Structure 1
């Protein structure tokens, strides 16, 4: 095969161009710190990088979800802790009131404190975290209780409608009655308040006993006790809230109102036995609150385990992505220096290959 001068020159130029391309590749790796800078550099590495980045993005989103879960749980735990202390104080006051040595005005002072504690418990039950009501199920945009201590609910149209706290007692009271609700002779002030709330509500036109019975039997919405589930891992949802009816039942506020009414009554005279039933009821509310906190505590422990696992997943995924994409700078520098030497040798050899001109001989 005859090798011409033009073939030598062309091969030399092609090789030098390849050397320049290799040096450019290593210089890009040094400046960016990455093995590849475009998918065409290595499609396999590029595809793995997409997968690792997708996985890392998902883990980071789960960690943000866990932050939301922790906010709900921490706020719920603190609120229920305050509620437990408030109920303990009410129990102390009721226990003091059962002492027959207390006079009417002294029990009246106790009634004022119990009434303030009731308002405080209502505020706790309407606790907000991140501008969301955490004790009203999935209805996080509306408070659980209104100013009178009634549970608030919304119908399918989003209209606010009353929820009667003691519907069974109300039905028993008005059962068999006829006529207008305003004409009912009701002895229990709590039942009367429930009927007044239902009768005077803006969205309802209820005036007769029959209409009241029909509403409570067929149309009264249930309080929202739905679970607030937040996804914290693939296919894993964690309940972030507590059951409002267990932590802050509507009956709790009815009982506190009953205690206030009893502390302020003076006919007939009170004695210690009159408060025994209230102590038992308060103990049950406190126990229900403790049980709900225990359930929350178990989920908080699980949340810690999930959070630890997510942190480990983030570290592992980041490490895999680094191994896949990041360049070994020591190796890159070595390859670049070697390529520079090859390039210099190519230039030196090429200067000998180029055909001498007449001027070379004249010198």
Structure 2
């Protein structure tokens, strides 16, 4: 086959173009630090990168969710701690009240303090996280106790003022949602319950304080009758502690989930780096090698092509 001058020129120009393209690709990799600058460079790497970035975005969202979970649990624990402190003060007052040296006036003062403690515990029951009521289940826009100044509304259900601590919320069940669990997703297929079902506990505390108020305000109430409330106080204190223990167990799980998310973030970030990031030493070496090849191609081409064409190329 006859090789013409134009064939040599065309082959040289094509090879030089390919050489420039390779150097341009290597230069882009060095500038960006990535193996690819567009999906067409390597579709497999691009598709894997999308998957890794999706996983990282999910981990970031789960970390934000964990912050919300911690907020709910920490606030619940702190609230119940204050409820326990209030009950201890009630216990001190009831322990002192049966003393026969106390006059009716002294008991009236004790009643007034318990009045305020009762209101304080109701306020604690209506604690909010943001704009959501903490102890209202999924009915987060409604308070446990009425906030309109009335004392006979509890979770949307009319309370029978005559019932004692042994009673229960009337046959009518609580308003929809108050005993439901509030769950937040913290991992693929893993949901954590962030609220605490304290509806019955707060009902019992409220009933107990109402009965104590009644006995303290009634003249002639025996010390033994007032002292009988101590066992009830102990019962509700145990319920508060049980709920705090449950919250503590969930807080421990939250800590474990946070560690798991941190580990997952490191693993996925490494996978993304291995998939897309270049090895600078190798790419720079390839770049230098390609430049040497390109210079050799130019030198050889100058020798085999007529000087007029070479002059044009220069």
Do they superpose with TM above 0.5?
yes
Match in the other structure for 1:87: 87
Q: Deviations over 1:227-281 (max 9, x none)?
A: 00111111111100101225x4213112212212221222xx2332011321111
1:14 aligned onto 2:14: yes
Q: CA deviation at 1:222?
A: 5.7
Distance between the aligned counterparts of 2:105 and 2:66, measured in 1? 52
Q: CA deviation at 1:219?
A: 8.6
Match in the other structure for 1:259: 212
Q: Judge conservation of contact 1:137–1:244 (CA < 8 Å) in 2.
A: no
Report the TM-score when normalising by structure 2: 0.90
Instruction: Report SS of the residue matched to 1:191.
Output: coil
Report the TM-score when normalising by structure 1: 0.79
Instruction: Report SS of the residue matched to 1:88.
Output: helix
Instruction: Report SS of the residue matched to 1:241.
Output: coil
Instruction: Report SS of the residue matched to 1:283.
Output: helix
Q: 1:232 to 1:149 in 2, by over 3 A?
A: farther
Distance between the aligned counterparts of 1:240 and 1:98, measured in 2? 41
Q: Judge conservation of contact 2:139–2:177 (CA < 8 Å) in 1.
A: no
Instruction: Report SS of the residue matched to 1:249.
Output: helix
How many residues of Structure 1 are paired with residues of Structure 2 in the alignment? 303
Distance between the aligned counterparts of 2:130 and 2:153, measured in 1? 22
Q: Judge conservation of contact 2:144–2:199 (CA < 8 Å) in 1.
A: no
Distance between the aligned counterparts of 2:176 and 2:233, measured in 1? 24
Distance between the aligned counterparts of 1:150 and 1:283, measured in 2? 25
Instruction: Report SS of the residue matched to 1:288.
Output: helix
Cα RMSD after superposing both structures: 2.2
Instruction: Report SS of the residue matched to 2:195.
Output: coil
Match in the other structure for 1:106: 106
1:245 aligned onto 2:196: no
Which of residues 247, 250, 256 in structure 2 aligns to 1:305? 256
Distance between the aligned counterparts of 1:321 and 1:223, measured in 2? 43
Instruction: Report SS of the residue matched to 2:162.
Output: helix
Q: CA deviation at 1:335?
A: 1.3
Q: CA deviation at 1:122?
A: 0.7
Match in the other structure for 2:166: none
Matches within 5 A, 1:173-322: 190-191=161-162, 221=175, 224-246=178-200, 248-266=201-219, 269-322=220-273
Distance between the aligned counterparts of 1:236 and 1:140, measured in 2? 22
Q: Judge conservation of contact 1:149–1:253 (CA < 8 Å) in 2.
A: no
Q: Judge conservation of contact 2:138–2:177 (CA < 8 Å) in 1.
A: no
Q: 1:144 to 1:58 in 2, by over 3 A?
A: same
Distance between the aligned counterparts of 1:289 and 1:218, measured in 2? 25
Match in the other structure for 1:349: 300
Q: CA deviation at 1:151?
A: 4.8
